[in-house]
Chains A and B, each alone.
Chain A
Amino acid sequence: MKKKRTKMTAGHRKKLFKRNMEAYSFLLPNLILFILCSIYPVIWTLKYVFYQYGGIGTGDPKWVGLHNLIRVFQDEVYWQSVINTFVYGFGKVLIIIPLAFFLALLLNRQTRFNGIAQSMVFLPTIMSSAVMGLVFYLLFNAYNGQVNQYLMSLNIIDSPINWLGKEHAMTTLIITAIWGGVGNYMVYFIAGLQQVAKDALESAKIDGAGPVQTLWYVTIPMMGPILKIILMLSITSAFNDITNVMVLTEGGPNNATMVMSLYGYRYFFPISASEAVVPQYGYGAAVSVVSAVIAGAVTVLYLRASRKLDDIY
């Protein structure tokens, strides 16, 4: 620790160097992982947007300039997948947020029963969306699945619904996404409700406000800031969902449930084990970058819109 400081500047520099080395010795394990798994893949993807490349053994990557990006903008299936992503995302968010909010209102008070109910509703969020995607695949199977069997034995429907067919696949996907996520947002809302000041609720009660009035005029306005964060999280996570789509519908039938994230993926890897794929890494990279920009734009637009909401209040 003790070093002679004959030369003030040199000694100082040495000490600074030692301090920096110490710092980086702590950072090193994570830094290696961060550079390898986070930074490098982003740079790689950005680079290959401008190349045509089919992988090792297919010749060197070929510079094609903006060709891949132009192709993305002309790719009708891709834009269909963008629309599908929005349908999926809004469908999921619009249903999951009110459901989660009501659950939070009902289970907010810290009682033993509420604690148990909370952990039951939260349970799906710790499950593998891949494994449960397989289970839903069996449950929603048109002829042998239990969903149709129950609906038919209750006489709600006469003939089996093709849940995973072109017409209903998106609905089924959204139902399973709600199943997997509602507990998450319920917990966020409970955290938000706990921040609503108790005395505001008390004084509302003293003033004679009913439960609905209290909810509408006190609780919801006071939840504003946290609601904004929750909506933001739900939108961005909906854009990233891929595993459940991959296992349940594989983007099909006929691209009916193809979402942006899966569309880029399929130019890199086969979606299902029964599919043969000729990889197009350059084009896949371009698709992924455009998708990331779209998701980013939605986030920015949302932030702007929610700031406007602030001005109104």
Chain B
Amino acid sequence: MESAVKSRRLSAKAGRVCGILFLVVMILFTLYPIIYTVLGSLKTNAELTAGGSFFPEEWQFQNYYQAFVQADFVKYTANSVILAVSTTALAVVSCALAGFMFARRDFAGKKILLALYTSMMFISLGSVTLYPIYQFLQNLGLDKSMAGLVIALTGGQAVNVLLVMGFVKGIPKELDEAAIIDGCTIYGVFGRILLPLMKPILAVVALFVFRNTWNDYITTLIMTITNPDLQTLTVAVVQLKYSVNAAAEWHIMLAGASIAIIPILIVYLLCNKQFIAGLTAGAVKG
């Protein structure tokens, strides 16, 4: 009897050790590439390719100087910031307006539109659809401009519109009705009553659009083919892979990669709870 209890306790202990071991391995696995990027960005190219110690022998801060000045990363950083901020703003405003309307009013064509928005979540033709968008923007003369890039990066936002709609539906309609009785127009109801209440879901939308824009590679790459001056950090870093002396520039690549990931790391440090909660709000409910 006693030995049975003992063996059970022992197996529970063994289980817990295995669990912790598994966790440690997984955390090492997830963190290592990021640590490698940041520490590698401070090593010399020779140290990187020959395989040296874990920490840099001498901290090569001039790698960053080289990336920023010689590889033009000042410009790319500015582009990334401008694009991420304006795309996020456009997405949040357009999703808030549309999501509110879909949730609160019946109007001609609503059913068809909603069916279209929902079906677009399931039709995925992939990145080839960027070509017609590019062509269209070219016809408008927007293909070499920041504005065109913002439009392409914002995209249809069908998922986020439906997300906002679902959230607004959960806000009691009595609030609007009371405001209308008090003489509010629909614009007043939106701006004064609902917009403040929609903040949590709009923060989720903003966070995810910001992340996606900052990290985007393919859309930005294609839309900047004719005007590389608009390239972002992400695109510029990856292009280093194809530069003539790529083999001798690992340190610049890693410095560039660090410049590209550190801002999003900071955003994550500040609001990792929102990232995690937002993911569940978007996926499991929607």
Q: Which residues of A contact B (CB under 8 A)?
A: 1, 19-20, 22-24, 26-31, 33-34, 36-42, 44-45, 56, 99, 102-103, 106-107, 117-139, 144, 146, 149, 153, 179, 182-184, 187-188, 191-192, 210-211, 226, 229, 233, 236, 239-240, 242-243, 246-247, 261, 264-265, 267-269, 272-274, 281, 284-285, 288-289, 291-292, 295-296, 299
List B contacts of A124 (CB < 8 A). 30, 33-34
Within 8 A of A (CB), among B1-43: 8, 12, 15, 19, 22-23, 26-27, 29-31, 33-34, 36-37, 40
Minimum CB–CB distance from B237 to chain A (whole Å) comes to 6
A107, B253: Cα distance in complex, Å: 35
Decide: A44 near B132, CB < 8 A? Known: A39-B116, A128-B234, A135-B37: yes
Inter-subunit contact B125/A274 (CB<8 Å)? no
Interface centre among A34, A37, A243, A281 (most CB of B within 10 A): A37
Provide the B194-223 mask, 1 if CB < 8 A to any CB of A, else 0: 000000000000000001001111100010
Inter-subunit contact A126/B98 (CB<8 Å)? no
Q: Which one of A22, A29, A137 contacts B241 once the chains associate, using CB atoms below 8 Å?
A: A137
Provide the B39-66 mask, 1 if CB < 8 A to any CB of A, else 0: 0100000001111000000000000000
List B contacts of A273 (CB < 8 A). 239, 242
Decide: A30 near B222, CB < 8 A? Known: A36-B136, A127-B215: no
A146, B53: Cα distance in complex, Å: 11
Inter-subunit contact B217/A135 (CB<8 Å)? no
Q: Which residues of B contact A (CB under 8 A)?
A: 8, 12, 15, 19, 22-23, 26-27, 29-31, 33-34, 36-37, 40, 48-51, 90, 93-95, 97-98, 100-102, 105, 107-108, 110, 113, 116-117, 120, 122-133, 135-136, 151-152, 154-158, 161, 185-186, 190, 211, 214-218, 222, 225, 234-235, 237-242, 250, 253-254, 257, 260-261, 264-265, 267-268, 272, 275-276, 279-280, 283-284
Q: Which one of B15, B27, B97 contacts A30 once the chains associate, using CB atoms below 8 Å?
A: B97
Closest to B120 in A: A38
Inter-subunit contact B217/A247 (CB<8 Å)? yes
Inter-subunit contact A34/B156 (CB<8 Å)? yes
Q: Which one of B128, B239, B260 contacts A128 once the chains associate, using CB atoms below 8 Å?
A: B260
List A contacts of B130 (CB < 8 A). 41, 268-269
Inter-subunit contact A242/B127 (CB<8 Å)? yes
Inter-subunit contact B97/A29 (CB<8 Å)? yes
Inter-subunit contact B211/A45 (CB<8 Å)? no
Closest to B40 in A: A138
Decide: A243 near B120, CB < 8 A? Known: A126-B264, A127-B34, A131-B261: no
Ordered by A's residue number, 9 sampled pairs between the chains whose C-beta atoms are within 8 Å are A23-B101, A26-B98, A38-B156, A40-B136, A117-B27, A120-B31, A191-B280, A264-B125, A273-B242
Inter-subunit contact A226/B101 (CB<8 Å)? no
A97, B128: Cα distance in complex, Å: 29
Inter-subunit contact B129/A41 (CB<8 Å)? yes
Minimum CB–CB distance from B212 to chain A (whole Å) comes to 10
17 more CB-based (< 8 A) A-B contacts, given A34-B157, A45-B128: A29-B94, A30-B161, A34-B161, A38-B155, A39-B156, A45-B129, A103-B26, A107-B23, A120-B27, A126-B267, A127-B34, A134-B253, A192-B284, A265-B126, A265-B128, A269-B222, A292-B124
Closest to B275 in A: A126
Inter-subunit contact A131/B237 (CB<8 Å)? yes
Q: Which one of A37, A134, A183 contacts B238 once the chains associate, using CB atoms below 8 Å?
A: A134
List B contacts of A40 (CB < 8 A). 132-133, 136
Inter-subunit contact B125/A135 (CB<8 Å)? no
Decide: A138 near B97, CB < 8 A? Known: A179-B33, A242-B127, A288-B125: no
Inter-subunit contact B125/A42 (CB<8 Å)? yes
Decide: A183 near B30, CB < 8 A? Known: A36-B136, A129-B215: yes
A6, B125: Cα distance in complex, Å: 53
List A contacts of B36 (CB < 8 A). 135, 139, 146
Interface centre among B117, B235, B240, B283 (most CB of A within 10 A): B283
Inter-subunit contact A130/B126 (CB<8 Å)? no
Inter-subunit contact B98/A30 (CB<8 Å)? yes
Inter-subunit contact B158/A34 (CB<8 Å)? yes
A130, B157: Cα distance in complex, Å: 22
Inter-subunit contact A288/B133 (CB<8 Å)? no
A122, B110: Cα distance in complex, Å: 38
A39, B237: Cα distance in complex, Å: 32
List B contacts of A292 (CB < 8 A). 123-126
Q: Which one of B29, B124, B190 contacts A240 once the chains associate, using CB atoms below 8 Å?
A: B124
A272, B19: Cα distance in complex, Å: 42
Inter-subunit contact A182/B26 (CB<8 Å)? yes
Inter-subunit contact B234/A182 (CB<8 Å)? no
